[in-house]
Structure 1
């Protein structure tokens, strides 16, 4: 033992100094729970006097404020059977402090050459953290309830939108069949196809409800399959092929891509194949390179030849495609290829590379 600790008195002075450096309230008790020493933090937090504390029973301090059943249980029942106890929670209304929740850590010190027992008792006030935790629990429960209500409202809105789109599409189709004017009939059919395209995009995004990132390849495959089944009749079969790199896109981007593809497919169905052909084909290709991408919709039809196709590429559908592409920060290029027409929508400085994923025909 160092010379500085040769006497018992020196050891006691050192022990008390250590106790006073502890930031939380701290007590040293004897085996009968009398206070041998207390930290400065104990006196400050609980607003008690040192002269009225040392040497007295813990349970008799003040007006008996420490005569707490839970604390008695800890000291009289648990500690005798254990050397240590951590995280024992005591809730009590302390004079001058109000209701407090204390976390107690206790240690029993047994000496080799003495029957005496010393109990070390540390207090930590966790009232604020418990209140915060309780408030957070209430807030979380309220948030979950609001999210459930929001989900129910969104679900109801989706059903109403889907039903409304179906009703509008049906009315347009009935009107188209009833009118005499061929021009009016074509306008009504165009309107019907566009309503159906919005309904198709809405349906496929609804199937991925709550997903902020959409699997583009799977989404395009399902979308084109839906377009094929709803817009292509048996009397004029046209196959739609989908080739897509793997990757995800924000749901808002996926909506715009879906509407662009739908408009381009509608244009191809209307103008690319004036004569029925058994090999009529529309190809949808999505390439991705980091955050950039390129969407190509092509067909093996008549290309830009003929006034009808030229009108189709300068009409409402193309205007919609260009507007949606501008929102995405993409450019649009329309032109003939070896056979048929090709429309490319390119985001930023995209550079093509070999397609890494090919999906089966829709």
Structure 2
């Protein structure tokens, strides 16, 4: 409901008609900033009555509660120059209402003669919205703070894990050099290689922190490079090559694949090259067809000796068999005089292989 100022002109009538359609607090001012009319929501929102509002100077309303510097800038500086203003934010403590944040939209209308002006002033209370935004911002800040702390703790943990791997590997290597039993030395050297390869897997996955999937070729290349360095000796150098298509895999799957590669490479070192040949080579390949995948580790060794996956095998066989089951995969071993090839693949990949005639 509006209380019109007497003798309103055509511009005022139009303004009042507009006010009737707006449920938010609304004022119609004359060119001197006196209130010509106010919407009922204005009275309700700011706890003022008609007789102390209509015809009064805006800045004098409610014992001066609207004498706000930012509002004066809007009405006396911006509006005369631009005639319109949207989203002008005013933050103020209003008597009987409390702290409020208001968005003001203003329009200046001129009479047909251009001698009189009327200002339409609409208010939107965004106090709750700003409070929610502040809460979200504070929550975001706290979340980022916690994430930063978590990241620092995780980096520290990674650093300590890496150091622990190195310490354990060095102890194993020292023990291997100190013992006289060839069998014990072999076990210690195997353990050393497993620790070093696990450290390599951990190091590469740490570099991929925050990435749900990693690039397979880079992962296998780094792992094989680490294995070759740890396994090669002066009289028995190893060439380990990794090949992969443009495949990606989850970090959890990469751990299993990395451990399988490690065990199969260790197995090849132990059994494929008893003659310490200088041309010892091991190939690691990973290929995909859609969601199907295949991992192959092959060598150019003698093709004899204990083969991973055989019944009654040692620790390496137990590890590989367990990891293959975890991956839901199957394993094929082909042993020839030119070397051994071990393939681990998803069942769906086997279904893609050509059938024998």
Relative to the length of structure 2, the TM-score reads 0.87
- SS of 1:63's partner is helix
Deviation at 1:119, TM superposition (A): 0.6
Residues 117/86 of structure 1: CA separation in 2 closer, same or farther (3 Å cut): same
- Given that 2:35 and 2:58 are in contact with CA atoms closer than 8 Å, whether structure 1 keeps it comes out as yes
- Given that 1:20 and 1:41 are in contact with CA atoms closer than 8 Å, whether structure 2 keeps it comes out as no
Deviation at 1:51, TM superposition (A): 4.3
Verify: 1:146 aligned to 2:155, yes or no: no
Q: Distance in 1 between matches of 2:313 and 2:33?
A: 94
User: 1:1-362, aligned counterparts within 5 Å?
Assistant: 15-303=15-303, 305-306=304-305, 314-336=313-335, 339-350=338-349
Residues 309/247 of structure 1: CA separation in 2 closer, same or farther (3 Å cut): closer
Deviation at 1:15, TM superposition (A): 5.0
Residues 77/116 of structure 1: CA separation in 2 closer, same or farther (3 Å cut): same
Residues 291/129 of structure 1: CA separation in 2 closer, same or farther (3 Å cut): farther
- Find the counterpart in structure 1 of residue 5 from structure 2: none
Higher relative contact order (CA 8 A, sep 6+): 1
Segments of 5+ residues of structure 1 without an aligned counterpart are 1-7, 355-362
Residues 45/333 of structure 1: CA separation in 2 closer, same or farther (3 Å cut): farther
Relative to the length of structure 1, the TM-score reads 0.86
- Given that 2:271 and 2:306 are in contact with CA atoms closer than 8 Å, whether structure 1 keeps it comes out as no
The superposition leaves residues 327-359 of structure 1 with CA deviations (integer Å, 9 ceiling, x where unpaired) of 2332233332573222222134126989xxxxx
Q: Distance in 2 between matches of 1:71 and 1:10?
A: 26
Residues 307/161 of structure 1: CA separation in 2 closer, same or farther (3 Å cut): closer
Q: Distance in 1 between matches of 2:102 and 2:192?
A: 70
Alignment RMSD: 2.7
Q: Distance in 2 between matches of 1:343 and 1:259?
A: 14
Deviation at 1:216, TM superposition (A): 1.1
Deviation at 1:73, TM superposition (A): 2.2
Q: Distance in 2 between matches of 1:247 and 1:51?
A: 78
- Given that 2:25 and 2:42 are in contact with CA atoms closer than 8 Å, whether structure 1 keeps it comes out as yes
Residues 313/148 of structure 1: CA separation in 2 closer, same or farther (3 Å cut): farther
The superposition leaves residues 207-238 of structure 1 with CA deviations (integer Å, 9 ceiling, x where unpaired) of 33333321111111121112112212231122
Q: Distance in 2 between matches of 1:336 and 1:272?
A: 10
Residues 10/69 of structure 1: CA separation in 2 closer, same or farther (3 Å cut): closer
The superposition leaves residues 57-114 of structure 1 with CA deviations (integer Å, 9 ceiling, x where unpaired) of 2222223221222212221222222211222111111223211111111111123324
Residues 76/13 of structure 1: CA separation in 2 closer, same or farther (3 Å cut): closer
Aligned length: 346
- SS of 1:62's partner is helix
Q: Distance in 1 between matches of 2:31 and 2:11?
A: 20
Deviation at 1:44, TM superposition (A): 2.8
Q: Distance in 1 between matches of 2:141 and 2:188?
A: 50
Residues 28/282 of structure 1: CA separation in 2 closer, same or farther (3 Å cut): same
- Given that 1:232 and 1:238 are in contact with CA atoms closer than 8 Å, whether structure 2 keeps it comes out as yes
Q: Distance in 2 between matches of 1:156 and 1:84?
A: 57
Q: Distance in 2 between matches of 1:232 and 1:312?
A: 29
- Given that 1:35 and 1:55 are in contact with CA atoms closer than 8 Å, whether structure 2 keeps it comes out as yes
Q: Distance in 1 between matches of 2:18 and 2:274?
A: 96
Deviation at 1:274, TM superposition (A): 1.1
